[in-house]
């Protein structure tokens, strides 16, 4: 297994190709290290500058007195990368992230083979080329060459996101931050000349900081090794996969993008399904599934209770869940119905979905949640909140978040709306509640959660 520790948790970093000009790739990387509060030692290499942002700059890596630097971030033109890696090898640098493009993805396979050979010769663990590299919010490592004002950064959490594509990776990171996700690690590995998806997944499988793995993948280099890893990884933690190159045209595009050999999508899908991967069909589903796995544990069953303050939203959600092959609408116990009748106004019908009416407030929701949580015939609770109604406000958001802390049952929120709704969605998500914006998203996510734990229990 390739050791990614020096890439993700380095105590010293050299950035090669740091420009004095703001907006250039190397300059942005340095600025991100500073802005993110990286506390390790930073060295700069630029043969045309003596200092950058008040920091000393060296002409070559070999000029730095400290030997055995943990990580080199290389942002120089492709033709200059071989010499830089040679210097890194002589200086005993342990690992490298090559963000530079211009290798096999544009047909320059010999140049890529050359840098791979150099990395292997010196035992340098190398990510890239043609990638964004890595971000670890715990160690404050950030090799992304994206300006901080253009990319929202997620808070610390349990999802590690792996992306062969830097563009997809940065987009998902931005979306995750906007939806209140917590990230453990982000790894963009580009052409995978040395470290590939098998190495990364193997590392994350045993990483205690990673609860869920989400991966966007264009091709798998080592099929046999991937299958052996697939047999083990989902026994430990959920893996959500979005595989590109489903069509012949898509496979061709993938090859020109990261030099990936996409192969048959059907063959990949068969492996994913056999070994318990959760398959996402687009970026939205990748986010849905990652969110529910990060916040919820194994459900006790597949019976779902729905609480709503809007009848139509309840019906649509019932349809979405009932259409699933695996999920069921729960039949509330008579004990629960009797208890609810005592505290609910006469217009509330004692059935599932439980429509609390348009004037429902935090107290009405609180009572309903308490009784449904205690009902042994309910395994999962879906809470629909339409914040456009008179009784739905911050007190209700706090009430539902409070119940999330008490219950052992999976609990999802469905809330649809604009600014006022979005504000309260962020409040609830920061408390650990997974919030969705469509009945379909709720149904798909619950189905994914249930199927994964069915697989995991079967294989245990």
pLDDT band at residue 251 under the 50/70/90 scheme: low
Mean pLDDT of 358-382: 97
Average pLDDT of span 85-102: 97
Q: What is the pLDDT of residue 263?
A: 62
Nearest C-alpha neighbor of 215 from the set 271, 273, 261, 283: 283
Q: Does the pLDDT of residue 245 top 80, yes or no?
A: no
Secondary structure letter of residue 385 according to DSSP: -
Token code pair at residue 296 = 């919820």
Average pLDDT for 219-236: 93
In angstroms, the CA 446 to CA 431 distance is 19
Taking only the tens place, the pLDDT of each residue in 50-69 is 999 999 999 999 999 999 99
List, in sequence order, every residue forming a beta bridge with 384; answer none if it has no partner.
Answer: 414
* pLDDT averaged over every residue in the chain: 93
Q: What is the mean pLDDT of residues 226-235?
A: 95
Tokens for 163, please give them.
Answer: 């992306």
Kind of pairing between the strands at 41-45 and 380-384: unpaired
Q: Contact 442/450 with Cβ under 8 angstroms?
A: no
Structure-token pair, residue 232: 């083990």
If one counts every other C-beta atom within 10 angstroms of the C-beta of residue 338, the result is 11
Are 442 and 323 in contact by the 8 Å Cβ rule? The answer is no
> Which residues fall within 8 angstroms of residue 410, CB to CB, at 6 or more apart?
292, 296, 297, 299, 379, 380, 381, 446, 449
Q: Is residue 241 classed exposed, middle or buried when 0-12, 13-18 and 19+ CB atoms within 10 A define those classes? A: buried
What percent of the chain has pLDDT above 90?
87
Q: Any bridge partners for residue 123, and if so which?
A: none
Q: Kindly report, as residue ranges, where domains of CATH 3.40.50.261 are found in the chain.
A: 151-295, 298-459
In the chain, what percentage of residues exceed pLDDT 70?
Answer: 96
User: Exposed, middle or buried, 163 (CB in 10 Å: 0-12/13-18/19+)?
Assistant: buried
Q: For residue 252, what pLDDT is reported?
A: 54
Specify whether the CB–CB gap between 348 and 380 falls below 8 A: no
Model confidence pLDDT, tens digit, residues 143-198: 999 887 888 888 999 999 999 998 999 999 999 988 888 999 999 999 999 999 99
pLDDT of residue 64: 97
- pTM (2 d.p.): 0.92
**Could you read off the pLDDT of 394-452 as tens digits, one per residue?**
999 999 999 999 999 999 999 999 999 999 999 999 888 999 999 999 999 999 999 99
Predicted pLDDT at 460: 53
State yes or no: pLDDT of 253 exceeds 80.
Answer: no
E strand or H helix at 328 = strand 328-329
Q: How far apart are CA 106 and CA 32, in angstroms?
A: 28
CA neighbor of 420 nearest in space, from 393, 402, 439:
393
Checking if the pLDDT of 85 tops 70, the result is: yes
The predicted model gives 251-270 an average pLDDT of: 63
The sign of the CA dihedral 103, 107, 112, 114 is negative
CA distances from 313 to 142, 160, 447 (A): 42, 33, 19
**pLDDT tens digits, 286-331:** 999 999 999 999 999 999 999 999 999 999 999 999 999 899 999 9
User: How far does the chain reach from its first CA to its final CA, in angstroms?
Assistant: 24
In whole angstroms, give the CA distance from residue 231 to residue 201. Answer: 12
The two three-digit tokens of residue 183, written as one number: 């990230």
Residue 373 has pLDDT above 70, yes or no: yes
Q: What is the pLDDT of residue 459?
A: 58
Residue 367, C-beta contacts closer than 8 angstroms, at least 6 positions apart: 340, 343, 344
Give the pLDDT score at 458. 84
SS3 of residue 41 by DSSP = strand
Query: Is domain 298-459 in CATH 3.40.50.261, yes or no?
Result: yes
Question: What pLDDT does 431 receive?
Answer: 87
Please give the average per-residue pLDDT across 350-373, as a whole number.
97
Question: Cα(338)–Cα(109) distance, rounded to whole angstroms?
Answer: 72
Other CB atoms closer than 10 Å to residue 267's CB: what's the count? 11
In which band, very low, low, confident or very high, does the pLDDT at 249 lie, cut at 50, 70 and 90? low
Distances (CA, A) of 421 to 96, 314, 415: 44, 17, 7
Give the pLDDT score at 257: 44
Lowest mean pLDDT among 41-55, 219-233, 241-255: 241-255
Tokens of 407: 């219950």
User: How much is the pLDDT for 261?
Assistant: 45
CATH 3.40.50.720: which residues of the chain?
1-130
CB 310 within 8 A of CB 299: no
Domain 151-295 sits in CATH at 3.40.50.261
Average pLDDT over residues 193-214: 97
Q: Could you give phi then psi for residue 361, rounded to 5 degrees?
A: -120, -170
How is domain 1-130 classified at the architecture level of CATH?
3-Layer(aba) Sandwich (3.40)
pLDDT of residue 332: 97
């Amino acid at each position: 297994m390739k050791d990614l520790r020096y890439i993700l948790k380095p105590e010293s970093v050299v950035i090669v190709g740091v420009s004095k000009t703001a907006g250039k790739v190397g300059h942005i990387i340095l600025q991100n290290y500073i802005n993110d509060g990286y506390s390790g030692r930073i060295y700069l290499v630029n043969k045309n500058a003596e200092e950058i942002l008040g920091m000393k700059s060296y002409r070559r890596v070999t000029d730095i007195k400290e030997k055995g630097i943990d990580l080199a971030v290389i942002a120089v033109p492709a033709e200059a990368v071989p010499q830089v890696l040679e210097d890194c090898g002589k200086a005993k640098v342990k690992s490298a992230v090559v963000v530079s493009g211009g290798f096999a993805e544009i047909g320059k396979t010999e140049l890529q083979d050359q840098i791979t050979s150099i990395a292997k010769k010196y035992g340098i663990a190398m990510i890239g080329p043609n990638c964004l590299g890595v971000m670890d919010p715990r160690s404050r490592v950030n090799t992304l060459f994206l300006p901080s004002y253009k990319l929202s950064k997620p808070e610390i959490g349990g999802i590690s996101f792996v992306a062969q594509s830097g563009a997809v990776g940065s987009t998902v990171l931005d979306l995750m931050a906007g939806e209140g996700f917590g990230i453990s690690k982000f790894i963009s590995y580009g052409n995978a000349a040395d470290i590939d998806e098998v190495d990364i997944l193997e590392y994350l499988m045993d990483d205690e900081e990673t609860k869920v793995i989400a991966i966007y993948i264009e091709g798998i280099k080592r099929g046999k090794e991937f299958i052996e890893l697939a047999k083990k990884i989902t026994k430990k933690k959920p893996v959500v996969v979005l595989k590109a190159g489903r069509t012949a045209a898509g496979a061709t595009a993938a090859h020109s993008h990261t030099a990936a050999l996409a192969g048959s999508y059907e063959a990949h899908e068969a492996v994913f399904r056999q070994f318990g991967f959760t398959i996402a069909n687009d970026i939205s589903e990748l986010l849905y599934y990652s969110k529910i796995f990060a916040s919820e544990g194994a459900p006790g069953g597949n019976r779902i209770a729905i609480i709503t303050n809007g009848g139509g939203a309840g019906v649509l959600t019932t349809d979405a869940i009932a259409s699933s092959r695996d999920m069921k609408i729960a039949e509330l116990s008579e004990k629960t119905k009797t208890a609810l009748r005592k505290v609910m106004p006469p217009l509330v019908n004692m059935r599932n979905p439980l429509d609390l009416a348009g004037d429902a407030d935090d107290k009405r929701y609180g009572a309903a949640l308490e009784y449904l949580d205690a009902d042994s015939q309910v395994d999962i609770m879906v809470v629909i909140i339409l914040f456009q109604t008179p009784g739905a406000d911050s007190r209700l958001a706090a009430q539902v978040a409070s119940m999330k802390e008490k219950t052992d049952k999976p609990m999802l929120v469905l809330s649809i709306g604009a600014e006022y709704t979005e504000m309260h969605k962020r409040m609830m998500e920061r408390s650990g509640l997974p919030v969705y914006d469509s009945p379909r998203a709720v149904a798909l996510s619950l189905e994914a959660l249930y199927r994964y734990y069915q697989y995991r229990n079967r294989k245990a």
